[in-house]
Amino acid sequence: MIAVDPAQSARRDADPVGIVAVGIARGHLYVLASCSERLEPAVWASRALAWAEKYNAGRFVVEPTGSGSYPRATLAAQVQIEGAMMRPIIDSKARGSKADRASPLSAAAAQGRVHIVGRQADLERELSTWHPGARWSPGGLDALVHGAATLTGDWKNL
């Protein structure tokens, strides 16, 4: 699955867009690729499509939050522009605090059930430095939480 946590805007001071390619096998989550960058909508959508092809992803999950249907519409438009294969797009609405949403991922990592494949410096930095009082929003962490929650049926199947 390719999970996307889009920014609310493309302004220079906007939070980074988080994109992760994540899969699950035998109760373990595997992060195959990740980015956390300030990207224009067409750029993050194109990257998500390329990763879906590269990693044989069966679907996308996007966080609509305050951006409403824009992530879903952006992906669908980019599919048309690029002539890419359409995959299901699932909305994953943020519920509760960021810390509450991330706690099951943290617990899974503590149990040795989260594996980062290769070196993914930006995601590793976000996972190891973000804390509930931080004044920045970790796009890669958010995308991973949404992707992992979707893959595990809201953490019931991990």
Question: pLDDT tens digit string along 14-63?
Answer: 788 999 999 999 999 999 999 999 899 999 999 999 999 999 999 999 98
In a domain, 156, yes or no: no
Looking at the predicted structure, is the pLDDT value of residue 9 above 80? no
Domain harbouring 75, CATH code: 3.30.420.280
In a domain, 123, yes or no: yes
Q: What is the pLDDT of residue 7?
A: 83
Average pLDDT of the segment spanning 95-100: 88
The terminus-to-terminus CA distance of the chain in angstroms comes to 16
In a domain, 38, yes or no: yes
The CA distance from 155 to 158, in Å, is 6
Q: pLDDT of 118-137, one tens digit each?
A: 999 999 999 999 999 998 88
Q: What is the pLDDT of residue 91?
A: 92
Residue spans of alpha helices (H) in 1-155 = 41-54, 70-82, 98-110, 121-129, 139-151
In a domain, 124, yes or no: yes
Average pLDDT of the segment spanning 92-108: 91
Q: What are 84's two structure tokens?
A: 């890419």
- Which residues does 8 contact at the CB level (< 8 Å), separation at least 6? 14, 15, 65, 66, 67
Query: What domain count does the chain have?
Result: 1
What does the mean pLDDT of the chain come to? 92
* Residue 56 identity: N
Domain range for 37 is 2-151
